[in-house]
Chains A and B, each alone.
Chain A
Amino acid sequence: MKNNFIKFTAGLFYIFLLAACSEEETLPDTPILGLGGDTWTKGEIDNYITTNFTDPYNIEVKYKWDPYEINFNKNLTPVVENKVMPALDAVLKIWMNPYEKVIGKNFLRKFSPRQFVLVGSAEYNSDGTITLGQAEGGKKITLLVINNFDKKDKEEVKRMLHTIHHEFAHILHQNILYQREFKQLNPEWYTATWYNSSIAAANTQGLVTDYAKASADEDFVETISFLLVEGQAAFNEIVTANPGKAASILRQKEAMVVAYFHDAYNIDFRALQAETQKGIAEITQ
């Protein structure tokens, strides 16, 4: 018993000794290198971003290469500097301004992603497809192929803005889920190998694009993005070209999208559509 007591006190003693030792250390006051992010001499682009994105909306735009923001095992390239401001201008006019006009600045401040990451090239996947954009948990949107951006090229502008509206719609439905019935409209066509289907084939099945076949979520956001960016006329054309079941499914999707925007966010989808089209016309004029 006594022996045990000695052992116990000796044990405590060691612990105190060790503790005493560690108290002697002082923390180094050297700042940790790179803490708080990279810095560089600010230029025209940096100021543009601060004025138009960071100050009003608390959005960070990363246009300089940062391998930790992207798929680090893929061959990608950074952006060409003279493409950054035109591309961001299109983002402002075709995505942000329409939402702001229809529902107000606070909506964007609340739901917009906190970070845009710009990449010059596309990301090439092993299945032969290329990735044009990515959204991560409502926090970050990565926009690829910025180097091909040309505001005079209407198709290219639409392609990029289609990506943004697509990714932003993901954020919206991740906050408030869309109608359950949407998933039951054409579940038979959802497939991981969506890229084996052509756009025309997808249209005949009641989907706006081939990528809409990837899943119900993608279908929903593709429908939104298509209606906003390609426009109602283009949507109507698909409906007319694919009469019967496909047309009826497409019309139901359209109605659900309009209802979703109204019920979930109190947004007039038709007004949003008109503003988006106006933005595209303004940028590509």
Chain B
Amino acid sequence: MKKILRYILLLTIGAACTNKEELELEELPDARLSAALSSYQQKLVGAANGWDAYLFPKDGGGATFHFKFTDNNRVTTYADINTSTATTPMESSYRLKATQLPSLYFDTYTYLHQLADPDPEVLGGTQGAGFSSDFEFSILSASEDTIKLKGNLNGSNMTLVRAKEPNASANVAKAYATNNALQKISEFTYYYNVLTLGGKQYQFTLNPEVQSISFYYNENGFKQFTTKYAASATGLILEQPFVDGALRATEFHDINIDVAAKRITLTTSTTTGTTANVTTPLVIDPDAATRMYNAGTYYYSATGFTMAGKTDAHNLSSIPGFEGVYYYPGYGSGYDALLFLYETNNESKIYGPAFSTRLGTDGKMTFYGHVGNFGTAPPELHLTTITAVRTQFLNTNGYYVYQTGETSYDLVSVANGRNWIRFQ
């Protein structure tokens, strides 16, 4: 038996020897990597009109760029961050590098890096992280027209789409205009917009502050779909497609916001939808209030209440040095707070009421039991403004709550659908 085994072993070794495999040179990892990198390089440089790019930073909304790559490691960038970045090109450098996946590095500073800048003075976001964006991307896939990228540090998604028009850099300015146009939705009288799309009705929210799009509807109970968007030359690109039955929306175009008629029309693929501005909700989220309250964070609004289409209805910006209002659940032991932050003599001050929050089983969030104000009061003149906001906030009928992003919520007055406040 042992002998047989030994022969078998001998035979297999012999077989292994004779059955020698010659690896083709092209199949060696280094050769393939080299080929992949040069093919990506050719793709990037080969787009005569450049690339439109849609970036979704991990902790931010969506951003739109236009890149034009040259074969000497230079890239020209436009971005929809502000008017200047949308119209003035900035040149920086890039390179392709073989890391775990072939990667595209934007290796000197350009507009793209502003979103990732850990200094909040640059563009905002969190100290030490900015919007947790990326400028060093793994190439996940590359077809002739589309390159999909994922950030190596924070995992932000970015899609490059080959531009077709000769002066495609103007696409960014158009995207910037689209972003601005979306702000007008808050001028509609009521908070609620009901979108009829593909024969179904959805309560529909576009939140330009966190750049999210939300669909709320009933289907064996409350259903919600929220994703981030980036503006394009013609409309919006969604980070995740909205899928409901036969409907699959990856983008919206031909977006028209008619403030006088309080109506949004938009088209996805070939399906056109229209909204109606209504007084009462189509659906109520039974859990959003609880989620918001228990998230263990606080919420910020730059403008306070919007009432009947008027942003900052209480004119909070008239408070000298006003920086925003915060709803802070569990600010002190046993109470919640609405804090007005303002700056005076280069020092930040807070002032505001302390109260309790009730979370109803019907999805309503009600603030009650005002026990007084704390902090440093602004001059007498502005106390009336703060009192007015407090009175509105502590309305006994409470609020319906709709989530519009990871940590952003809209509160809509139950008593009056005209009045709402957007927290993030």
Residues of B within 8 A of A31 (CB): 30
Contact A17 B17 (CB under 8 A): yes
B28 surroundings in chain A (CB, below 8 A): 28, 30
Which B residues touch A78, using CB under 8 A?
106-109, 113, 135
Are A77 and B13 in touch, CB under 8 angstroms?
Answer: no
Query: With A and B bound together, what is the CA distance between A76 and B98 in angstroms?
Result: 21
Residues of chain A lying within 8 A (CB to CB) of residue B129: 75, 124
Contacts of B127 in A (CB 8 A): 124
> Any chain A CB within 8 A of the CB of B117?
yes
Q: How far is the CB of B336 from chain A (nearest CB, A)?
A: 26
B221 neighbours in A (Cβ, 8 Å): none
| Chain B residues numbered 269-315 whose CB sits less than 8 Å from any CB in chain A | none
Interchain CB contact under 8 A, A33 and B30: yes
A10: chain B residues within 8 A (beta carbon) = 6
B18 — nearest CB in chain A belongs to which residue? A21
B357 near A: Cβ within 8 Å? Answer: no
Tell me which residues across on chain B come within 8 A of A65, comparing CB atoms: 105-108, 135-136
User: Looking at the complex, which one of A34, A43, A66, A121 makes contact with B98 (CB distance below 8 Å)?
Assistant: A34
The answer to whether the Cβ of B186 comes within 8 Å of any Cβ in the partner chain is: no
Whether A64 is near chain B, meaning CB under 8 Å from some CB there, is yes
Contact B95–A40 (Cβ < 8 Å) = yes
Chain A binder among B31-39, B246-254, B379-387: B31-39
The verdict on A30 contacting B25 (CB below 8 Å), with A24-B20, A67-B153, A124-B128 known, is yes
Taking the complex as formed, is B87 at the interface, i.e. its CB lies under 8 A from any CB of chain A? no
B105 touches A30 (CB 8 A): no
Verify if B62 is at the interface (C-beta below 8 Å from A). Answer: no
- A81 to B108, Cβ gap below 8 A? yes
Q: B408 at interface (Cβ–Cβ under 8 A)?
A: no
Within 8 Å CB of B130, what residues of A?
75
Is B76 an interface position by the 8 A CB rule? Answer: no
Within 8 A of A (CB), among B83-123: 92-93, 95, 97-98, 105-109, 113, 116-119
Interface residues of A in 57-75 (CB under 8 A from B): 63-67, 72-75
Q: Which residue of A lies closest to B125 (CB)?
A: A75
Is A1 interfacial (CB 8 A cutoff)? no
Residues of A within 8 A of B31 (CB): 30
Identity of the chain B residue whose Cβ is nearest the Cβ of A24 in the assembled complex: B20
Q: Verify if B259 is at the interface (C-beta below 8 Å from A).
A: no
Kindly supply a per-residue 1/0 record for chain B positions 115-149, scoring 1 wherever the CB is within 8 Å of any chain A CB and 0 otherwise. 01111000000011110100110000000000000
Given A17-B13, A75-B116, A121-B119, decide whether A81 and B98 contact each other with a Cβ distance below 8 A: no
* B73 located at the interface, meaning its Cβ lies under 8 Å from any Cβ of chain A in the complex: yes
Identify which of B17, B37, B113, B132 gathers the most chain A CB atoms within 10 Å of its CB: B113
The 8 Å CB contact of B30, one of A17, A32, A41, A43, is: A32
Does B105 lie within 8 Å of A122, measured CB to CB? no
Check A238 for interface membership: any CB of B closer than 8 A: no
Once A30-B34, A79-B108 are accepted as A-B contacts, the answer to whether A20 and B17 lie under 8 Å apart by CB is yes
For chain A, residues 121 to 148, give those with C-beta under 8 angstroms from any C-beta of chain B: 121-125, 147
Cβ-based interface call for A38 (8 A): yes
B152 within 8 A of A: yes
Encoded as 1 (CB less than 8 Å from any A CB) or 0, chain B from 210 to 235 comes to 00000000000000000000000000
CA A124 to CA B132, docked complex, whole Å: 13
Task: Indicate which residue in A24, A33, A43, A76 contacts B34 across the interface (CB closer than 8 Å).
Answer: A33
Minimum CB–CB distance from B81 to chain A (whole Å) comes to 15
Q: Which of chain A's residues have a CB closer than 8 A to the CB of B98?
A: 33-34
Please pick, from A34, A72, A79, A125, the residue contacting B97 in the complex, using a CB distance under 8 A: A34
Q: In the bound complex, what is the Cα–Cα distance between A80 and B117 (angstroms)?
A: 12
Within the complex, the shortest CB–CB distance from A282 to chain B, in Å, comes to 27
Contacts A21-B17, A30-B28; is A77 near B153 (CB within 8 Å)? no
- A75 and B128 in contact, given A38-B97, A67-B136 (Cβ under 8 angstroms): yes
When the two chains form their complex, are residues A121 and B97 in contact, meaning their CB atoms are under 8 A apart? Answer: no
Q: Which residue of B lies closest to A120 (CB)?
A: B109
B57 to chain A, nearest CB (A): 11
Known contacts A33-B98, A40-B93: does B107 contact A64 (CB below 8 Å)? yes
The reply to whether A121 and B117 contact each other, CB–CB distance below 8 Å, is yes
B8 contacts A by Cβ under 8 Å: no
A255 at the interface (CB under 8 A from B): no
B14 touches A77 (CB 8 A): no
Q: What are 7 A-to-B residue pairs whose CB atoms are below 8 Å?
A: A14-B13, A21-B17, A32-B30, A65-B107, A81-B108, A121-B119, A124-B129
Interface residues of B (CB under 8 A from A): 6, 9-10, 13-14, 16-17, 20, 23, 25, 28, 30-31, 33-34, 37, 71-74, 92-93, 95, 97-98, 105-109, 113, 116-119, 127-130, 132, 135-136, 152-154
